[in-house]
Amino acid sequence: VDSARFAYSGLERIFHERGRLAVCISLIASEGGMRFAELQEACALTDGNLSRHLHALTEVSVVTLARERHGTRMATVVRITPQGRERFLAYLDELEAVVRDARAHSVESIAPPCTLSPAKAT
Amino acid sequence: VDSARFAYSGLERIFHERGRLAVCISLIASEGGMRFAELQEACALTDGNLSRHLHALTEVSVVTLARERHGTRMATVVRITPQGRERFLAYLDELEAVVRDARAHSVESIAPPCTLSPAKAT
């Protein structure tokens, strides 16, 4: 119903967490994938935190992990999946709506509001 | 440092939760405040959830609660504080930067990426 105008049900919890948001933005910029260490640096996350976020994202098929040769060493390479990308872009649409709503309302409220009778000061 | 380009440290946890985000957007639209029941409807939150969010927001002085006469009955009226408003608008600036970054990168990545040597298919 329209009464719940600020429910934002499209803000999927899997993406709406600062660390995972950072991870997904990093990954949509590089279809070739990113090494664990690169991702950690880009997102300023600890080993443990990045591991936990990647675990959560692989469980819902948003990212994939693969051990691959990188120069002379092996590295864990993280990629966003096509379906993960699509879901993340839908999440971004909702995030954009949030910012737009908020901006519109913070301007509206410069006009004197009068939804409630004023509180008695005495 | 600039290496953590996706850290988004301005995404304050107090605002970056779907329910609290909805509450704050609702409140910046009405400086006269909103009754608990109105807020609950606008944000599609249960009694318990809204109470918990309001408790968290009052603890950091982002909102205030007051019992006030509304017609013939008393109601709890919720208002965003001037400092809460200022912090929330700063949070929105960061959220806008997130959306902007993500959009820029999802376009960038249409061009063939080449940060890693391709994985061997065999």
Instruction: Tell me, yes or no, if the pTM score tops 0.80.
Output: no
Mean pLDDT of chain B: 86
Question: What interface predicted TM-score (ipTM) does this complex get?
Answer: 0.73
In the beta sheet, which residues pair with residue B32? none
Candidates B3, B12, B18: best to mutate against A (most CBs of A within 10 A) is B18
Evaluate if residue B45 carries a pLDDT over 80.
Answer: yes
| A43 interfaces chain B, CB cutoff of 8 Å | yes
Note whether B18 contacts A: Cβ–Cβ < 8 A.
yes
The DSSP bridge partners found for residue A69 are A74
Tokens representing B56? 């968290």
A105 with B29: Cβ contact below 8 A: yes
Q: H/E/C letters for each residue in chain B?
A: CCCCCCCCCCCCCCCCCHHHHHHHHHHHCCCCCEEHHHHHHHHCCCHHHHHHHHHHHHHCCCEEEEEEEECCEEEEEEEECHHHHHHHHHHHHHHHHHHHHHHHHHHHCCCCCCCCCCCCCC
Q: Which of B11, B89, B115 sits opposite A18 (nearest CB)?
A: B11
**Whole-Å CA distances, B95 to A27, A28, A46, B57:** 18, 17, 22, 19
Residue of B nearest to A115 (CA): B32
Which A residues in the span 54-113 are in contact with B, Cβ-Cβ below 8 Å? 66, 68-70, 77, 85, 88-89, 92, 95-96, 98-99, 101-103, 105-106, 108-109, 113
Nearest by CB: A4 against B42, B103, B106: B42
pLDDT (tens digit per residue) in A67-116: 999 889 999 999 999 999 999 999 999 999 989 988 887 765 544 444 45
